[in-house]
Amino acid sequence: MILQTSKSKTLRLPVADPIEASHPLIRDIMTTSPEQLLGALNWRYATKKFNAAATIPTDLWKTLESALVLAPSSFGLQPWKFVVVTDPQVKAQLVPHSWGQSQPADCSHMVVFAVKTGLDQAHVDHFLARQIEVRGGSLEALAGYRGMMLGSLQKATDAGYLDIWQTHQLYIALGQFMTAAALLGVDTCPMEGIAPVEYDRILGLTGSGYKTVVACAAGYRADDDKYASQKKVRFPASEVVKHI
């Protein structure tokens, strides 16, 4: 494995051998060792200063984009849109609406996580049509599953938490994206200090049925980012993990 720490620096780590297992779904899958995973998670940090001249290679970005697409969600309904911003002018427009932070302008790819509001029957049917396309089957065979999903959405709507529920799903995708990026040696900075309404206006989301929730800058840290070398401050596992 190679962790790319900047445009010119790389950290080479050994790649684990394929799993020797009998289960057909995991046989011959290349895995990351526990040491490699923890190494990547300790290496990553919320990057404060990006190298504006460093760009994530196209093939590497495609992998990270796939990590977004593969993110899990409740019922698998994927109530989201990932807006990937690479246009320098558009990225610069986001800075004033990000507490003046420079990450949106200087990163390689700015990912904006937008939630689909008012999830409804049409979305459920769209999802089921995709499931049939991928797995086969029929709507008739999925009628019970469809009814269960619609019932849950209606219950959430009646209780007033439908959009809150779906918004939570975006943080699952965000976490998966950041972990995947760390394993590939790409720096990230999650950003909630943004003005969602202004982001929606700039990105053309206003009136689209999608609303900005959170963003994540991705790219490569600047060599003079002082925060890159600081130790992580985390509570001991004994304080935050409870075993039952």
Q: How much is the average pLDDT of 202-213?
A: 98
Q: How far apart are CA 15 and CA 24, in angstroms?
A: 21
> What total of structural domains would you count in the chain?
1
Instruction: Characterize the bridge pairing of strands 2-4 and 210-219.
Output: unpaired
Tell me the CATH number at 215. Answer: 3.40.109.10
The answer to whether residue 133 sits within a structural domain is yes
The answer to whether residue 236 sits within a structural domain is no
**pLDDT at position 117 over 80:** yes
pLDDT tens, position by position, 84-111: 999 999 999 999 999 999 999 999 999 9
Q: How far apart are CA 156 and CA 186, in angstroms?
A: 37
The answer to whether residue 239 sits within a structural domain is no
Chain mean pLDDT for the chain: 91
For residue 28, the model assigns a pLDDT of 60
Q: Is 125 helix (H, G, I), strand (E, B) or coil?
A: helix
The answer to whether residue 89 sits within a structural domain is yes
- Distances from the Cα of 106 to the Cαs of 73, 124, 188, 212, in angstroms? 30, 38, 12, 20
pLDDT tens, position by position, 145-192: 999 999 999 999 999 999 999 999 999 999 999 999 999 999 999 999
Within 8 A by CB and 6+ apart from 151, the residues are: none
The answer to whether residue 156 sits within a structural domain is yes
Whether pTM exceeds 0.85 = yes
The answer to whether residue 190 sits within a structural domain is yes
The answer to whether residue 240 sits within a structural domain is no
| Nearest Cα to Cα of residue 97 among 78, 82, 76, 112 | 112
| Nearest Cα to Cα of residue 183 among 7, 8, 11 | 11
Q: How much is the average pLDDT of 58-78?
A: 98
The answer to whether residue 242 sits within a structural domain is no
